[in-house]
Amino acid sequence: MFTSIAGRSVVVTGGTRGIGKGIAAVFAGAGARVLVTGRDEGAARTAADEVGATGYVAADVSRKADCEKVAAAAAERLGGLDVLCANAGVFPSARLGDLAEDDIDRVLGVNLKGTILTVQACLPLLRASGHGRVILTSSITGPVTGYPGWTHYGASKAGQLGFMRTAAIELARDGITVNAVLPGNIMTEGLAGLGDDYVNGMTAAIPMRRLGTVEEIGHTVLFLATDEAGYITGQTIVVDGGQTLPESPEAVS
């Protein structure tokens, strides 16, 4: 039995659709007060309504001023911050030979720099909480696997883990834990945008023969936010239906 997180204050970046919206729905369903963020204000408002969040903020995680705006909104609307879910991310595909400098800047800017700026802006509130939790949405791609077209993305997701390990040490004495969830292939709006061939190919490579759901990621994040997970820091949990296990295609045939 886990201690209830009802009443805890939670921010989910990129909470307007996909995995972030799933995380927000799980926390709101558990009685937490949730603020969702994304760049599109209309989508943020709609998502907040749909998941029963306390509020929303339009903000771009790659901009320091926007991250500070999110922290200020958490202070004002939630009265503080106990759990930060740094989830916002983008995954445009381009082979290394075609990768434009702008693509590299955008992916690293949102996924890696955005993670650092978000955590940094929320630090005073997380310290004040006394039991702050930071949960990053990383990926199997980069930390565990590779996939053609995602050199920049894989670097950004592996980079999040490098950030996590040192942040976990720096913040341990403040009672703040910093962990990461590594999703495999989760059915989201963003992933659907990669096309049927991608989705079908991935489904065939997953021992459970299905993509994951956003709620399955949300529940993993929820566990890392509990009091009972308070001694876990600087760690990763892979949630991939066994996708990273097979040694060869025959193993899943």
Residues that bind ligand NAP (CB under 6 A): 13-14, 16-20, 37-40, 43, 60-62, 87-91, 110, 114, 137, 139, 183, 185-186, 188-191
Q: Which two tokens stand for residue 111?
A: 């996924």
How far apart are CB 183 and ligand NAP at their closest, in Å? Answer: 4
How far apart are CB 227 and ligand NAP at their closest, in Å? Answer: 25
**CA-closest candidate to residue 218, choices 12, 26, 16:** 26
* Residue 198 a catalytic site member: no
Distance CA 170, CA 214 (A): 30
**CA-closest candidate to residue 51, choices 83, 85, 19:** 19
**CA-closest candidate to residue 215, choices 22, 13, 20, 15:** 22
Given the complex with ligand NAP, which of 230 and 239 has the nearer CB atom? 239
Point out the catalytic residue in the list 56, 147, 153, 231. 153
Distance CA 117, CA 197 (A): 35
Distance CA 135, CA 120 (A): 13
Given the complex with ligand NAP, which of 78 and 186 has the nearer CB atom? 186
SS3 88: coil
SS3 66: helix
How far apart are CB 140 and ligand NAP at their closest, in Å? Answer: 7
Given the complex with ligand NAP, which of 6 and 72 has the nearer CB atom? 72
**CA-closest candidate to residue 177, choices 46, 79, 84:** 84
Given the complex with ligand NAP, which of 148 and 231 has the nearer CB atom? 148
> Any idea which residues carry the catalytic annotation?
153
